[in-house]
């Protein structure tokens, strides 16, 4: 029961990640909201992330709000496991999202995640709302496979740019190009 509750917490965050990003971040009728203002800035500046203290405060408030219902409905152990899965995967999401912008992908998942996420940023923001997984994009039909991403020069990530030529590093040229 504990492992199932932990997994359900992870799955819940994954769904919240999708809904928060898709609806609070990209549906004009649902703005203004605190997430949207930070999200719009992230899209317009590329390397902007909301301050960590805001994220920790929001996570603490959300955890406090859910603690009583989770432990009442599931019992103490499973309720805490559910919250640990939810908040643990939220923290994982935060790390993965930041690293997509600041570091090159070192394995197949990392390379896929960067193409998926940057296609959302620079090609069509109506698609690919899942930052860590395509699961909910597939379920809700907002997944768009990505072969190559055209990155505006003003948003090029340091890990993508060859310092000698100013163009895309050769090892990323199959998946990224810079807009002229």
Cβ neighbours of residue 63 under 8 Å, at least 6 residues apart? 83, 86, 87
d(CA 46, CA 41): 8
Whether pLDDT at 47 is above 90: no
**15-21 average pLDDT score:** 96
Whether pLDDT at 31 is above 90: no
Whether pLDDT at 13 is above 90: yes
SS3 label, residue 180: coil
Whether pLDDT at 49 is above 90: no
Verify cis geometry, omega within 30 degrees of 0, for the bond prior to 69. no
Alpha helices in the chain (DSSP H): 2-19, 25-26, 34-45, 52-74, 76-102, 108-122, 135-139
pLDDT at 76: 97
d(CA 4, CA 7): 5
Q: Where are the domains of the chain?
A: 2-178
SS3 label, residue 161: strand
pLDDT in tens, 96-115: 999 999 999 989 999 999 99
pLDDT at 180: 78
Whether pLDDT at 160 is above 90: yes
């Amino acid at each position: 029961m504990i492992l199932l509750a932990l997994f359900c917490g992870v799955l819940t965050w994954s769904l919240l990640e999708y809904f928060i990003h898709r609806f609070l971040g990209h549906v004009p009728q649902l703005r203004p909201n605190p997430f949207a203002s930070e999200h719009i800035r992230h899209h317009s500046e590329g390397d902007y992330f909301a301050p960590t203290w805001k994220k920790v405060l929001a996570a603490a408030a959300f955890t406090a709000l859910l603690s009583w219902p989770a432990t009442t409905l599931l019992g103490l152990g499973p309720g805490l496991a559910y919250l640990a899965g939810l908040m643990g995967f939220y923290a994982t999401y935060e790390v993965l999202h930041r690293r997509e912008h600041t570091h090159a992908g070192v394995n197949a998942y990392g390379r896929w995640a960067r193409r998926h996420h940057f296609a959302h940023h620079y090609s069509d923001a109506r698609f690919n709302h899942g930052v860590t997984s395509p699961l909910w994009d597939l379920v809700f039909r907002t997944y768009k496979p990505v072969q190559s991403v055209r990155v505006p020069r003003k948003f090029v990530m340091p890990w993508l740019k060859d310092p000698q030529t100013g163009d895309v590093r050769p090892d990323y040229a199959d998946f990224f190009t810079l807009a002229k």
